[in-house]
Amino acid sequence: MPLDNPKGQSFRLVGSRPDRPDGIDKVTGRAKFGADMSAPGMLVGKLLRSPHAHARIRRIDIKKALALPGVKAIVTRDDFKEIEGDLRDVSRNVMARDKALYDGHAVAAVAAIDTATARKALKLIKVDYEILPHVTDVEEAMKPGAPVLHSDLFTQGVEPTPKKPSNIAKRHEFGHGDVAKGFAQADVVVERKFKNEATHQGYIEPHACLASVGNDGQGELWVCTQGHYAVRNVCASLLGMDVSKLRVTASEIGGGFGGKTTVFIEPVALALSRKAGKPVKIVMSREEVFRASGPTSSATVWVKIGIKKDGRITAGDAVLKYQGGAFPGSPVDMGAMSAFACYDLENVRAVGWDVVVNRPKQAAYRAPGAPISAFGVESVIDELAQKIGMDPIEVRLKNAAHEGTESSYGPTYGVIGLRATIEAAKVHPHYKAPLGPNQGRGIASGFWFNFGGQTCVSLNINIDGTVALAVGTPDIGGSRASMCLMAAEELGIGYDQVRTIIADTSSLGYNDISEGSRVTFSTGMATIQAARDAVKKLCGRAAQMWGISPEAVLWENGHAKPAGANAGDFPPLSLADIAKVAANTGGPIAGHCEVNAEGAGVSFSTHLCDVEIDPETGFTRVIRYTVIQDAGKAIHPSYVEGQYQGGAVQGIGWALNEEYIYGADGKLQNAGFLDYRIPVASDLPMIDTVIVEVPNPGHPYGLRGVGETSIVPPLAAVANAVSAAAKVRMTEIPMSPPKILKAMGEAQRR
């Protein structure tokens, strides 16, 4: 759907900042999250998880547990059919089959009358494990002789295909030109290896669901998820149910950031409910969230970039190794595609290796894979700028990708806003502000794709002229407010006259998951089309009442009006006037749209970060931070700013504090928020934001997705700032105080 007016648009409501429709519910506690659902006769579900990083499951004995009074059902691998194809790994992650592949892997589940009984029953389940050697480090897992997780995993993307299984699932390669030739033309070449630890999305609400399957085989599921249609389809497949027999309702969501785009406990709750004949609720503990949901990858990244003294980059090369947990599918392909995507390069190559280790299966985390590769590339760009004595902003401007650039992953860019974000950074007061002792400043840019996807909405005109808009994409970042604004804009009514709800899976056609920064783009596009469909019908009803042709009616400022003098002289009819008599003019009035939204625009961001290091302790404090990002068109600027700030904060946490720590025994050592510390408000300054608007030609209002790009630059922006303050290049994150002290000490000794 193209941009309505490429020469510029003016809006009545879009771009304003009305109150959020879910605000009162959330601050008063009335909003219902996953764990708030209950049902008569409900049982409590609990999972037994492997205490071993890698073990063959020889036998599971549930007899004693099943005999415990109050236990109503137990499920193990025997209750889930063998699945082949796309869902094989999902199925095996939900419930271990022949092997437990990580500390925390589910091996059995109990439904009982209360929590105490369920916990007691878990202790009575006897699992006979044969403990196997394990590996949790990505580079160790790639070595010959490493413990092999899957005997049927043979590396894809290499020639010839290996005859022996290994932990290397796949090789990806992107790029163009001749990097060797490019390096030969360079005046300065910097080559470095970087390392990052795995982090968790850190959503405050643990996974929770309530499942109810009746004796007739029909089921309902209430769940905290980013995509209830996908949950329905996956659960139906894993449990052998007809899709139509499972109705899924999404609760409010206390954060997802990609981590709630798959299933963990939901098929288990349904299986327990089916077996017990009663509703079953499962709520993960925080420890379970860390051990058994999906964090992102840990990785090593090697980057080599060559540059001329005039600041022109001649070649970029990178090798990325990401572990994706116990199953193939790390986001290394997208890390490799996005590594050099900010730059206009003649010679570029990025090779990615997807590796399995004995850790939980990774799940998407906000711009999956991109922050990791950007950390390496943007750090080396920073170092090159220092070596040739050029301002890092000027180096970026000189090499920034623009309309017509052949991207590092292939396609030629259309209209993009990277250069606008860098230029905005250059003139921002932050960039020229003086720095004090032990302080440093970093800059980094970042890229993310964004996409559209399957979307279905229904816009219903109520009898009083208000509007009920039903969408199928869970609101994970303020999309209900944006949908209300876009519907009201099109219909010519007030923001408060539209109420947007997230409909259950039986009420609308399929909707893809709320992921990929897609919701405001694609559900927004569908909402606009549905509103235009409703307007057409409203004009038709007015024409009917006036006895003129529908083509002779136009819609203006929320009213149907005769299109001109020849159409007749009739007083305008408001939306409420037409709605009031809908029963007499043909029945209910509604607009609909079913679309597979295409035309999403790529998105770029540039970040500025100031830090101060305590030289005695190595403790780092972020003292100023500015996010500058292209939104295409900000529908509700406060929410856009919130996305910018949220991504930056998560990136700062990843850069400075957060890490999964595994012991030599392969067990997670810090499965709780006390030992895995995410930044809180008191740790951070107010994150400043600048919204750049370079319209996306593929959307009627020109908007681009904004949810993910903001997490791409912070790892490098913070690392560049810390490196400047510490006067030593930091190459490992998180840059915790001991690492900073060590690096500073080594630099002084040199």
Partner 1 sequence: MVQVVLWGSLKSATGGATKVEVEAANIRELLSRLGEKHPGLKPQLDRGVSVSIDGKIYRDAWFQPIPPGSEVFLLPRLAGG
What is the contact surface with partner 1 in residues (CB under 8 A)? 86, 156-159, 161, 170-175, 201, 257-259, 261, 331, 333-334, 337, 349, 351, 364-368, 409-414, 448-454, 515-518, 596, 598-600, 698, 708
| Residue among 150, 184, 250, 104 nearest 667 (CA) | 104
691: left (phi over 0), alpha (psi -120 to 50) or beta: beta
The 8 Å CB, 24+ separation contacts for 555-561 are 555/492, 556/492, 557/492, 558/491, 558/492, 558/493, 559/492
Cα 643 from Cα 487, distance rounded (Å): 22
What is the residue whose two structure tokens read 């996953």? 34
**Residue whose CB is less far from partner 1, 302 or 431:** 302
Cα 366 from Cα 603, distance rounded (Å): 13
What is the residue whose two structure tokens read 């415990």? 68
**Residue whose CB is less far from partner 1, 261 or 358:** 261
Cβ contacts of residue 50 below 8 Å, gap of 6+?
Answer: 96, 100, 102, 103, 104, 105, 106, 107, 127, 129
CB of 703 to partner 1, least distance (A): 16
**Residue whose CB is less far from partner 1, 442 or 452:** 452
**Residue whose CB is less far from partner 1, 351 or 640:** 351
CB of 75 to partner 1, least distance (A): 29
CB of 99 to partner 1, least distance (A): 24
CB of 411 to partner 1, least distance (A): 4
User: ∠ CA 374-516-533 to the nearest 5 degrees?
Assistant: 145
Are the C-beta atoms of 309 and 388 separated by less than 8 Å? Answer: yes
Residues in the chain: 750
Q: Is the bond into 429 cis (omega within 30 degrees of 0)?
A: no
**Residue whose CB is less far from partner 1, 323 or 408:** 408
**Residue whose CB is less far from partner 1, 21 or 175:** 175
The pair of three-digit structure tokens given for residue 607, joined into one six-digit string: 């970040």
**Residue whose CB is less far from partner 1, 156 or 585:** 156
The pair of three-digit structure tokens given for residue 459, joined into one six-digit string: 């816009």
Are the C-beta atoms of 392 and 443 separated by less than 8 Å? Answer: yes
In Å, how far are 35, 602, 624, 649 from 646, measured between CA atoms? 24, 19, 15, 5
CB of 161 to partner 1, least distance (A): 8
Helices (H), 128-170: 138-142
CB of 650 to partner 1, least distance (A): 11
**Residue whose CB is less far from partner 1, 127 or 367:** 367
The pair of three-digit structure tokens given for residue 158, joined into one six-digit string: 């290499």
**Residue whose CB is less far from partner 1, 314 or 338:** 338
CB of 175 to partner 1, least distance (A): 7
CB of 403 to partner 1, least distance (A): 9
| Residue among 266, 296, 299 nearest 283 (CA) | 266
**Residue whose CB is less far from partner 1, 104 or 331:** 331
CB of 104 to partner 1, least distance (A): 21
CB of 598 to partner 1, least distance (A): 5
